[in-house]
Amino acid sequence: MLSVYSQEEGHFENAFKLFQKMKMNNVLIDERAWSSMVNICGMNIQLDTLQKLYQEIKQQNTNLHNSVYTSLMNAYFKCNKIETSIEIFKNTPSLSFDTSAHNSMLHIYSKSGCWNDAISLFQKMKVDKIPIDEITWCTMISLCGDNDQLPYLEKIYQEMIESGQKLNDMILTGLISSFSKCGNVTKSIQIFENIPQIQLTPAVYNSILSACSREEQYFTLAMKIFENMKKVQINDITWCIVISMCGALGQLEILEKFHKELMESKQQITSIILTALITSYARCGNIKRSVEIFEGRNSVPSDSTVFNSMLSAYSQTEGHFEDALKLFQEMKNDNLLDEITWMSIINICGGNFQLSTLENLHQEITQNTKLKQNNSILVSLMKAFFKCNK
């Protein structure tokens, strides 16, 4: 049951009660149970409980499987305690030659912007002859793309080919995505065109569509690829990419055409499709259509992402401050506020010179420990007050 609770957010209380009950009833807490509870803490950002679990684990006389320590590394990272992740990795002898643990540490470095640390660790893996698997290659490929390191990406690509690593879907999508992030969409297209037909899965198609969406000159090619995809399988990610591409390039007529095709297809309308439609119509200057789509979403479970997209849409057109504020209050009542929501409403206040409302928001933020420690929100506040001549 702990494993079930660890599959998604929101089950921390139930999971912790079950874990405590297991200990009270002297039920054996094995590696799987420890890993599940640790993962639950990380997923739900429960740092205090995570620290207590770590202390319990350290006090045990038995050596636990490396997977438990790897789970701890990942959980501390999710709780913004990368220094503890590093400490666990470096101070647990059994992890020294564990590929999975090294992959996790590479991922943590990658997502924390620690480029040099990640490169050093990868080089050490090669020196220490630690097996490099597809996860390692994928992590390094993504690292290069996220940090716009084209020369190193080309080097990694060459090393991987020479190693004999099979290019599966995960690696191919990573390569296509990362080369485009580094500004070499031509290389992404070249890789795509050399993929055997049998490996052209929806994930691979989506990656090349996303790559083409980065530069306007590849719009026609993207449309051609999209037409070919109709013979394979189009999923919600595909629709999201082509819809977003139309919005980014201001292609209202093509957006309306795709929207019509979407509604006539059997594709389930998910929250990410709704978000793309709302955002793209607003970018094309049709805020009225964005509002219609948002208000007609009844059959689709709405999350903060959908609401945030509508807030963002309001921010792109003058004269919608009251609408945005009303939506913000609705989100607050439904407990849907997140970092993006706060940044959006703050930016809207600044853009509309609404100093009084901005000051009220500032007051709310200063009374919330989590919010007042959020640098992104604080930067948005500074910019908004500046716009209001404060």
Give the number of residues written for the chain: 390
Domain with 116 in it: what CATH number?
A: 1.25.40.10
Confidence of residue 283 (pLDDT cuts 50, 70, 90): very high
Query: Could you tell me if 16 and 44 are in contact, meaning their C-beta atoms sit under 8 angstroms apart?
Result: no
pLDDT for the residue numbered 186:
96
Report yes or no on whether pTM surpasses 0.75.
yes
Q: Is residue 27 part of a domain?
A: yes
Q: Is residue 277 part of a domain?
A: no
The 8-class DSSP code of residue 337 comes to: -
Q: Is residue 366 part of a domain?
A: no
pLDDT for the residue numbered 167:
93
Could you identify the residue written with the tokens 């004999």? 164
Q: What is the largest CA-CA distance in the chain?
A: 67
Residue 269 above 60 pLDDT?
Answer: yes
In sequence order, which ranges of 218-335 are alpha helices (DSSP H)? 219-229, 236-248, 252-264, 271-283, 287-295, 304-315, 321-333
Q: Is residue 31 part of a domain?
A: yes
List all residues 6 or more positions away from 198 whose beta carbon is below 8 Å from its beta carbon: none
Q: Is residue 7 part of a domain?
A: yes
Each residue's pLDDT tens digit, 48-59: 999 999 998 888
pLDDT for the residue numbered 11:
78
Q: Is residue 11 part of a domain?
A: yes
Q: Rounded to whole angstroms, what are the CA distances from 75 to 60, 88, 226, 262, 264? A: 19, 11, 38, 39, 43
Q: Is residue 153 part of a domain?
A: no
Confidence of residue 233 (pLDDT cuts 50, 70, 90): confident
Q: Is residue 145 part of a domain?
A: no
Confidence of residue 164 (pLDDT cuts 50, 70, 90): very high
pLDDT for the residue numbered 61:
55
pLDDT for the residue numbered 62:
62
Query: Could you tell me if 15 and 5 are in contact, meaning their C-beta atoms sit under 8 angstroms apart?
Result: yes
pLDDT for the residue numbered 18:
81
Name the residue range of residue 42's domain.
1-131
CA atoms of 85 and 112, how far apart (whole Å): 12
Residue 154 above 90 pLDDT?
Answer: yes
State how many domains the chain has. 1
